[in-house]
Amino acid sequence: MPLDATVATRIRFADTGLVPVVVQDHASRAVLMMAWADADALAHTLATRRATYFSRSRNAQWVKGETSGHVQHVREVRLDCDGDTVLYVVDQTGPACHTGTTTCFDGDLILGDDHA
Amino acid sequence: MPLDATVATRIRFADTGLVPVVVQDHASRAVLMMAWADADALAHTLATRRATYFSRSRNAQWVKGETSGHVQHVREVRLDCDGDTVLYVVDQTGPACHTGTTTCFDGDLILGDDHA
């Protein structure tokens, strides 16, 4: 699936052909995960509103939740000021993380809140 | 400034020596920006709670807001489930984006909310 040309020209893909995607939950505003997309994955996301990524380890496109059922309906897609990072704002079904936690950032706190 | 060894072993830096950092506002929960950190920048962040990054274009460490005054006080640092993405949760002074917008994702909406 080709990416719309007017969108493609705005995105600065890395030399790998990928762009990092930050994923935020629409309801809770939590940062759910970070993944990567190539032009095809982004085009698939825009066309279907199912969050789609490119796996660097498997070297293949993946639709989030295709096997787990923990899909992401994409409410918004945004691009940052220098065009090299994408934000998906999603409605998350079930936990976002394959470990079963709500977000991929729940398990490992490196520095705790000094105002908590 | 060396990164604490127990932290360093948990982080999977890319071949470039960098790890992507997602930056979220503590109060609004907005995703403010995405940047990169090397071990030194992360160590500086942990030691000072001033959000510190590594600029790929300038090939140098930078402390956010050092020239603009738009500093980030780091409330929390989190690591994701596979150890290759860091989250800074910050108190942002002024706009996060060098363009003057609140976040770096305010200016370019690629796909609009279908439930708005």
Question: Could you say which of B80, B101, B109 has the minimum Cβ distance to residue A34?
Answer: B80
CA distance B57 to B64: 15
Q: Would the pLDDT of A116 be above 90? A: no
CA distance A25 to B7: 27
pLDDT of residue B1: 78
Domains of chain A, start order = 5-92 (3.10.20.810)
- Identify the closest residue of chain A to B99 by CA–CA distance: A81
Over the range A15-38, which residues count as b (16 or more CB within 10 Å of their CB) and which as e? eeebbbbbbbbbeeebbbbbbbbb
| pLDDT tens digits, A25-64 | 999 999 999 999 999 999 999 999 999 999 999 999 999 9
ipTM over 0.90: yes
| pLDDT tens digits, B1-51 | 789 999 999 999 999 999 999 999 999 999 999 999 999 999 999 999 999
The answer to whether A76 contacts B113, with C-beta atoms less than 8 Å apart, is yes
pTM of the predicted model as reported, rounded to 2 decimal places: 0.97
The region that residue B69 occupies, defined by phi over 0 for left and psi between -120 and 50 for alpha, beta otherwise, is: left
The encoded tokens of residue A61 equal: 């496109």
| pLDDT tens digits, B85-104 | 999 999 999 999 999 999 99
Mean pLDDT (chain A, rounded): 96
Q: Which residues of B touch A114 (CB under 8 A)?
A: 49, 75
